[in-house]
Structure 1
Amino acid sequence: MERRVSARYPVQFTLDFLGQHTVGVGSASDLSTEGCAVEGNLVVHKGWNLELRLYLPGQDLPMEVVAAVQWTKGQKFGLKFLRMEPEQQERLRRFISTLEAGPTR
């Protein structure tokens, strides 16, 4: 069984996702440096890769990330971040550092 290595933070934000035959929007939560949970407007399937635009609170431009669907439950699903540009990784790291003073799960 794979164990989570990074803390999750209960922040809410919107995202757009694009798959091979899917375009959707969702509300993300439980953010970590490794991924997040999403409540989407449609069903996706485990194993799908999705291109994401994350609209993090307080940031003007969206982050672009490629992620894999790790689990699904109806329209809820978990994502593991696969690829992002180094500057996007740094933006995410800085954003999460602002959350570290708050509660984790």
Structure 2
Amino acid sequence: MKSHQCDKTAKSEIRPNRRLTERVPTEVALMYSGMAAGDMLIGDGLVTDMSDRGIGIRGNRLVNPNMNLSLYIDLPGADEPVCIAQTKVAWVSGRQFGVEMISWDLEAQNQLRFHVWNCATRARHTGY
């Protein structure tokens, strides 16, 4: 998987913001998997933004709203991809989609929170 970057130019389609916390632009490689019409779906993509409970993704495989996915995110400094065991697709626009995180362990929570904090801090200090 590719290395990460906090992307001040990451393009996310404008949507109504239902989040209680900030959505932070980023660009991190990931793999996602789930079941679609009885078949296993495996896709690759990029995390385009993150908040405390959700992730924006641009993927190479189409998904459907309410689909359950597992995510494997290649965060910087992690020896292995961070696993988020259960997410639910909240919205879809072509190959761009957003997921709500349902179930993930404490280590994954901490790694994601640190990444979001890092990207938000860099953005504040650089003006992006």
1:4 alignment partner in structure 2: 19
Higher relative contact order (CA 8 A, sep 6+): 1
Separation in 2, partners of 1:12, 1:67? 19
* Partner deviation per Cα, 1:45-77 (whole Å, 9 max, x = no partner): 000000110112343321110211000011111
Q: Give the TM-score, by structure 2 length.
A: 0.73
Shift of 1:28: 1.1
Separation in 1, partners of 2:17, 2:113? 22
Structure with bigger gyration radius: 2
Separation in 2, partners of 1:57, 1:8? 19
Identical pairs, percent: 30
The reply on whether 1:74 has 2:74 as its aligned counterpart is no
1:16 alignment partner in structure 2: 31
- Aligned residue pairs: how many? 105
Match of 1:61 among 70, 80, 102: 80
Shift of 1:11: 0.8
Separation in 1, partners of 2:57, 2:18? 19
Question: Which amino acid counterpart does residue 105 of structure 2 have in structure 1?
Answer: E
The runs of at least 4 consecutive aligned structure 1 residues that moved more than 6 Å come to none
The reply on whether 1:103 has 2:123 as its aligned counterpart is yes
Alignment check: 8 A CA contact 2:60 2:95 kept: yes
Question: Which amino acid counterpart does residue 20 of structure 2 have in structure 1?
Answer: V
What CA RMSD, in Å, does the superposition of the two structures yield over aligned residues?
A: 2.0
Separation in 1, partners of 2:46, 2:115? 17
The reply on whether 1:41 has 2:60 as its aligned counterpart is yes
Structure 1: 5+ residue stretches without partners: none
Q: Give the TM-score, by structure 1 length.
A: 0.88
Structure 2: 5+ residue stretches without partners: 1-15
